[in-house]
Structure 1
Amino acid sequence: MAAIDCNGRLADGTVIPSLGWVAGTHLDIRVSGGLVLLTADPHAVFRVTRPGQVRLPATVRHWCGLVPGTRVLLVADAAAGLLVVHPPAALHAMITAFHTAVLGGEAV
């Protein structure tokens, strides 16, 4: 888990470095299905700002309802070179769907 700071940055000393990204690594950042997806791309304009730290663009934060202090779940897929940022709305949708499937639609 990580919190968005007032400048749109996420900092994590374990998940982000597990991808081998260092300061200056260029990143492609996009939104898909309510998730924020980051991959290394030498032609991208966004970068790892400091070791273990990335800044999400304002448009991405706006689309996902991320404001300073919002906590997100970070998941790295090292084999795919992918960092997935799960905003609260995406987590809520996943957990609700899981509970519906497991509990047969009963309210929790």
Structure 2
Amino acid sequence: MPTTSYNRVPVIFGSVLVNYAGRIAERSVLSALGWEAGTPIDIEPALPDVLLVTSSPDSAYAIARNGQLPIPAPIRRAARLRIGHRVLLAAHPDQHRLIIVCQNAFDILIADIRTRIDGGDQR
């Protein structure tokens, strides 16, 4: 089988609800990145309703003591991310980054896929 970019760059997926404190508690994904408590991180909007998280020594944010990833309220508001929303996580360990696809973006993606499957017909 030919080598693809997917074969070369492993992606670790996870899905989790944003907890009551605005944190993401998906340890298998975060540990795949090697991010432990206290790891400094940057969180920024990458696309509408999509966040990019990278480790950065100069960041004002960090992985919490309990190993959870806190998403500050201003960033949650900008991404239309609410407590209790489900997010899709895609960790790229080789690139030391995490992509967070918020529920609104995921809903749009699924609606588009459904439209393509249905040929534009609602069933």
Instruction: Tell which structure's C-alpha radius of gyration is larger.
Output: 2
TM-score, structure 1 normalization: 0.86
Q: Which has the higher strand share?
A: 1
- Residue by residue over 1:66-90, the C-alpha shift from the partner in whole angstroms, topping out at 9 and shown as x without a partner, is 2222221111111111111111111
The whole-number CA distance in structure 2 between the counterparts of 1:50 and 1:103 is 46
- The alignment's C-alpha RMSD in Å is 1.7
| Residue 104 of structure 1, CA deviation | 3.7
Structure 1 residues without counterparts, runs of 5 or longer: none
| Identity value in percent | 31
Following superposition, the deviation at residue 103 of structure 1 comes to 4.4
Q: Which moved more, 1:8-17 or 1:60-69?
A: 60-69
Unaligned runs of 5+ in 2: 1-14
| 2: CA distance, partners of 1:20 / 1:107 | 44
Q: 2:72 maps to which residue?
A: 57
| Structure 1 position 12 matched with structure 2 position 26 | yes
Distance (whole Å) between structure 2 residues aligned to residue 39 and residue 65 of structure 1:
20
**Match in the other structure for 2:50:** 35
Q: Name the structure 2 match of 1:85.
A: 100
Residue correspondences, number:
108
Query: Which has the larger share of helix?
Result: 2
Give the whole-Å Cα distance in 1 for the aligned partners of 2:116 and 2:86. 26
